[in-house]
C-alpha cells in the first residue's frame, strides 16, 4: 500500500523518449516532388508503425516496398494540400503549432536537463556497490511527524522494533520482510537504508506519503557470473543514477524558471468558459446515461460547439494575459483539442477546478515553449525534421477529410449496386473482429500492454472500449463485409486469424482489433431484400467510392510530381521482425505516438503502372 508508492516511483516518474538511432550520413531513400523521404524517417516509421504479417516483416523486400509506397502517398497528399492552401487552414495550423511547441519544449528539456547529466567514476562505483545487494526490510509508517518521532525515541530506549511493528496497521503489509533492489526507492531513502547494518534502523524519513522508519532484516549478496550480467548491472546502475540526476536538475530548473512568474487570465471569460464546458458535459452525460465512475471526454465536435457558443467579439478577446503576445480565447479553445479535458463528476465546481488546473499547465507549457523559441531551438535540424514529418501527416489527413463529405450515393446507384451484388450472388470477404476503441494513446498503450501480458481481448474490450455496444458485446462486431468498415475492414481482410493490429488512428479515437474469423468471398443465393440492407449497402458503397477516389487522386498526384526511389538502398536496409508501437514521452510533459501512424495504402501503385506510368 504505502510502501508500494515510493517503491514504484522510479518506474512511473520520468519516461525516456523513444528514438531510433540515426546515422550521421542520412541518405535519401525516395524523392517525391520537392519532399525527400530520408532513410532515418523510413526506418523510424516502419519500426514504430503496426504492420500486417509480422512473421514476414523483417527484411522482406516486398513488405518494405509496400510501406515505402504508403509513405510516398502521404507525401503526395501533403504536397497537394500545400498547393490547395491547406497549410493556411486554421485547424491544420493549430495542430502544427501544438506539435511544434511540444518538440521545442522537448529540445529545451534536453538542453537544460538531459544534456547536463554526467556520471562520475565515484558515483558509478557507489551505485555498483549498492546494486550488488538486495535488502529485506520492515518499516514503521505514520502520517504524523510527532507520532513517528515518538516511535523513534521508543526504539532508542531499546524497545524491540518487532514488538512495535506487530501492534500496528502496517504490519499486515509485511508479514514477511519486503525485498528491495537498488533503484526501486527514492534516492534519500535509498541512501539511508544502504548505510544500515543488519538489525539497524533509520532515522524518521519524510516521503510524499508520510514518515517512515526502516529496519534492515537481511542483506543478500548478488552474483553476476557472466560478462553479460555484469554489463547489464552497469547499465542498470547508470540508468538509476541518470534518473536521480534528471529529477534533481528538473526540480532545480522548474523552481528557478517559474519563480516570480505570474500570468493572469480574463476572469469573466474563464467563468463563462467553465459554464459552457459544464453545459456540454451535462448533455453528453444525459445522452450516454453514463455512471459517475465513467470518464466523460470533450471530443473535437464538443469543443467546436463550445467555440460556436461564444460570439466573435468574445472569441477575439485576450484570455491568457501574457505581457507580450497574449492568447485570445479562440486559440485557447482550439488548443483544448490537443489537451484532453475529461472528468468523472459533472458539476460546475468540479469543471471549474479542472479547467483552472488545465490553464495552469497550459501557461507553464507556453512559457517553456517561448523560452525554447527564444533560444532558437525550433531551428535545430532534428526539431525541424520531426515537425515536418508530422506536418506532412496532418496535411495529408486534412485533404482526405475534405473528401469524406463529398461522397454521395444516389438512389439509382444504390439499387444498381444491390442488383449487381445479389444478381451475381456474390458475397465479399467477411471478417469477424474484436475491436477496442479508446479515446487516447495512454489507454491504447495500456490495452496493448495487457494484451501482450496474455489478457483476453474480449474482457479488455468490455473494460476499456468507449463504445457502449462494445462494452456490452465484449468488442465483437459479428460478421461484417470487409468493404463496409473502412480502413479497419481493409486491414482485417489481409490479416491472419488470431492476429492483432493497432493502434489505428480513426475519426473517433484509436482502434485496436483482433481478427477472430474470416470468410472468403463466395457465391450465395440472395437472402435479403433491398429494403432490409439498403443502409448497410449505402455505407459499403460509400467506403468503396471513397477508397477508389483516394487511389485515383493519388495516381493523379503521382503523375504531377516526379517520384524517384533508391531501390538499392531499400534492399540494404535491415529491419526487425518485431511489430512495435511506442508512445513518445516528451520533455516537460506531453505524449504522442512515436511516429505518425499510417494505415497500409499501396494499391495506387498498380493502378499507376497499369496506365503505363512506371515509377522512375
Taking only the tens place, the pLDDT of each residue in 134-145 is 999 999 999 999
How confident is the model at residue 1, as a pLDDT?
A: 37
- Which residues make beta-bridge pairs with 501? 513
Backbone angles phi, psi at 295, to 5 degrees: -70, 135
**Which residues 6+ apart lie within 8 Å of 547 measured at CB?**
490
SS3 584: strand
Cα 371-377-383 angle, rounded to 5 deg: 130
**Which residues 6+ apart lie within 8 Å of 553 measured at CB?**
77, 80, 403
How confident is the model at residue 425, as a pLDDT?
A: 61
How confident is the model at residue 541, as a pLDDT?
A: 86
Pairing of strands 426-427, 430-438: unpaired
Q: Distance between CA atoms of 9 and 15, rounded to whole angstroms?
A: 11
Q: How far is CA 263 from CA 46, 259, 267, 355, 589, in A?
A: 43, 12, 12, 15, 20
Choose among 125, 144, 135, 296: nearest CA to 202. Answer: 135
**Which residues 6+ apart lie within 8 Å of 334 measured at CB?**
90, 91, 94, 303, 307
Q: Cβ(309)–Cβ(65) under 8 Å?
A: no
Q: Cβ(504)–Cβ(511) under 8 Å?
A: yes
Alpha-carbon dihedral 466, 470, 475, 481, rounded to 10 degrees:
-110
Task: Tell me the DSSP string of 346-378.
Answer: -SHHHHHHHHHHHHHHHHHHHHHHHHHHHTTGG
**Is the entire prediction scored with pTM above 0.85?**
no
**Which residues 6+ apart lie within 8 Å of 115 measured at CB?**
none
Long-range contact list for 16-25, CB < 8 A, 24+ apart?
16/585, 17/106, 17/584, 17/585, 17/586, 17/587, 18/48, 18/582, 18/583, 18/584, 18/594, 19/44, 19/584, 20/44, 20/47, 20/48
Q: Cβ(20)–Cβ(43) under 8 Å?
A: yes
SS3 583: strand
Q: Distance between CA atoms of 330 and 319, rounded to whole angstroms?
A: 9
Q: Distance between CA atoms of 572 and 570, rounded to whole angstroms?
A: 5
Q: How far is CA 269 from CA 287, 340, 361, 365, 401, in A?
A: 27, 20, 18, 21, 32
Q: Where are the beta strands (DSSP E) in 21-145?
A: 28-32, 35-38, 133-142
Q: Distance between CA atoms of 549 and 207, rounded to whole angstroms?
A: 60
Share in percent of the chain as helix, strand, coil (round to 5): 55, 15, 30
Mean pLDDT in order along the chain per 10 residues (616 residues): 35 36 73 95 90 58 92 97 94 92 96 96 95 95 96 95 94 92 92 95 95 96 90 94 95 94 95 95 80 77 93 96 96 91 91 96 96 97 95 94 84 81 72 89 86 89 82 84 84 88 84 90 67 82 88 95 95 82 88 90 91 44
Q: Distance between CA atoms of 77 and 393, rounded to whole angstroms?
A: 9
Q: Distance between CA atoms of 238 and 408, rounded to whole angstroms?
A: 60
Say how many Å lie between the first and final Cα of the chain, rounded: 64
**Element (DSSP H or E) covering residue 220:** strand 211-221
Cell numbers found for residue 174: 509485511
Q: How far is CA 50 from the centre of its chain?
A: 14
How confident is the model at residue 611, as a pLDDT?
A: 67
Delineate the domains of the chain, giving CATH numbers in brackets.
133-221 (3.10.50.40), 426-524 (3.10.50.40)
* Helix 39-48 with 61-83: angle, nearest 10 deg: 110
- Which residues make beta-bridge pairs with 365? none
Amino acid at each position: 500500500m504505502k510502501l508500494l508508492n515510493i517503491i514504484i516511483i522510479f518506474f512511473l516518474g520520468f519516461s525516456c523518449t523513444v528514438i531510433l538511432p540515426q546515422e550521421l550520413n542520412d541518405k535519401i531513400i525516395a524523392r517525391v516532388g520537392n519532399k525527400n523521404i530520408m532513410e532515418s524517417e523510413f526506418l523510424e516509421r516502419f519500426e514504430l508503425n503496426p504492420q500486417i504479417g509480422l512473421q514476414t516483416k523483417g527484411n522482406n523486400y516486398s513488405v518494405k516496398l509496400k510501406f515505402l509506397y504508403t509513405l510516398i502517398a502521404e507525401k503526395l497528399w501533403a504536397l497537394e494540400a500545400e498547393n490547395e492552401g491547406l497549410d493556411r487552414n486554421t485547424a491544420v495550423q493549430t495542430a502544427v503549432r501544438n506539435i511544434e511547441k511540444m518538440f521545442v519544449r522537448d529540445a529545451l528539456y534536453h538542453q537544460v536537463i538531459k544534456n547536463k547529466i554526467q556520471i562520475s567514476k565515484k558515483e558509478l562505483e557507489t551505485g555498483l556497490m549498492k546494486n550488488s545487494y538486495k535488502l529485506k526490510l520492515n518499516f514503521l509508517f505514520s502520517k504524523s511527524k510527532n507520532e513517528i518521532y515518538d516511535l523513534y525515541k521508543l526504539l532508542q530506549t531499546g524497545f524491540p522494533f518487532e514488538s512495535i511493528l506487530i501492534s500496528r496497521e502496517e504490519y499486515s503489509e509485511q508479514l514477511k520482510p519486503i525485498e528491495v533492489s537498488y533503484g526501486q526507492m527514492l534516492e534519500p531513502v535509498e541512501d539511508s537504508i544502504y548505510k544500515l547494518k543488519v538489525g539497524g534502523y533509520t532515522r524518521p524519513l519524510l516521503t510524499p506519503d508520510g514518515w517512515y522508519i526502516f529496519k534492515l532484516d537481511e542483506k543478500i549478496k548478488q552474483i553476476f557470473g557472466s560478462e553479460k550480467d555484469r554489463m547489464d548491472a552497469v547499465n542498470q546502475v547508470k540508468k538509476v543514477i541518470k534518473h536521480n540526476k534528471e529529477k534533481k536538475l528538473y526540480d532545480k530548473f522548474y523552481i528557478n524558471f517559474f519563480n516570480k512568474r505570474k500570468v493572469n487570465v480574463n476572469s469573466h471569460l474563464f467563468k463563462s468558459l467553465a459554464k459552457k464546458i459544464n453545459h456540454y458535459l451535462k448533455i453528453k452525460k444525459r445522452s450516454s446515461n453514463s455512471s459517475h465512475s465513467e470518464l466523460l471526454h470533450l471530443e473535437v465536435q464538443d469543443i467546436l460547439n463550445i467555440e460556436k457558443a461564444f460570439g466573435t467579439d468574445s472569441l477575439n478577446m485576450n484570455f491568457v494575459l501574457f505581457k507580450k503576445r497574449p492568447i485570445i480565447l479562440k486559440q485557447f479553445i482550439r488548443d483544448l483539442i490537443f489537451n484532453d479535458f475529461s472528468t468523472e463528476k459533472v458539476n460546475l465546481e468540479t469543471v471549474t477546478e479542472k479547467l483552472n488546473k488545465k490553464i495552469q499547465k497550459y501557461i507553464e507549457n507556453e512559457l517553456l515553449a517561448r523560452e525554447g523559441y527564444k533560444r532558437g531551438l525550433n531551428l535545430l535540424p532534428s526539431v525541424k525534421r520531426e515537425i515536418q514529418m508530422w506536418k506532412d501527416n496532418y496535411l495529408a489527413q486534412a485533404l482526405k477529410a475534405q473528401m469524406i463529405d463529398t461522397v454521395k450515393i444516389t438512389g439509382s446507384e444504390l439499387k444498381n449496386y444491390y442488383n449487381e451484388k445479389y444478381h451475381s450472388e456474390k458475397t465479399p470477404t467477411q471478417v469477424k473482429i474484436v475491436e477496442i476503441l479508446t479515446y487516447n494513446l495512454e489507454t491504447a498503450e495500456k490495452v496493448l500492454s495487457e494484451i501482450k501480458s496474455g489478457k483476453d481481448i474480449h474482457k479488455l474490450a468490455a473494460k476499456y472500449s468507449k463504445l457502449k455496444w462494445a462494452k456490452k458485446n465484449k468488442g465483437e462486431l459479428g460478421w461484417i463485409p470487409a468493404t463496409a468498415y473502412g480502413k479497419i475492414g481493409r486491414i482485417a481482410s489481409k490479416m491472419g486469424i488470431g492476429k492483432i493490429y493497432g493502434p489505428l488512428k480513426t475519426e473517433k479515437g484509436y482502434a485496436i482489433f483482433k481478427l477472430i474469423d474470416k470468410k472468403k468471398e463466395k457465391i450465395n443465393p440472395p437472402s435479403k431484400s433491398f429494403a432490409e440492407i439498403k443502409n448497410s449497402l449505402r455505407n459499403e458503397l460509400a467506403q468503396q467510392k471513397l477508397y477508389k477516389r483516394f487511389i485515383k487522386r493519388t495516381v493523379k498526384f503521382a503523375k504531377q510530381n516526379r517520384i524517384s526511389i533508391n531501390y538499392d538502398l531499400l534492399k540494404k536496409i535491415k529491419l526487425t521482425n518485431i511489430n512495435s508501437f511506442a508512445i513518445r514521452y516528451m520533455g516537460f510533459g506531453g505524449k504522442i505516438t512515436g511516429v505518425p501512424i499510417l494505415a497500409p495504402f499501396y494499391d495506387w501503385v498498380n493502378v499507376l503502372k497499369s496506365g503505363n506510368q512506371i515509377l522512375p
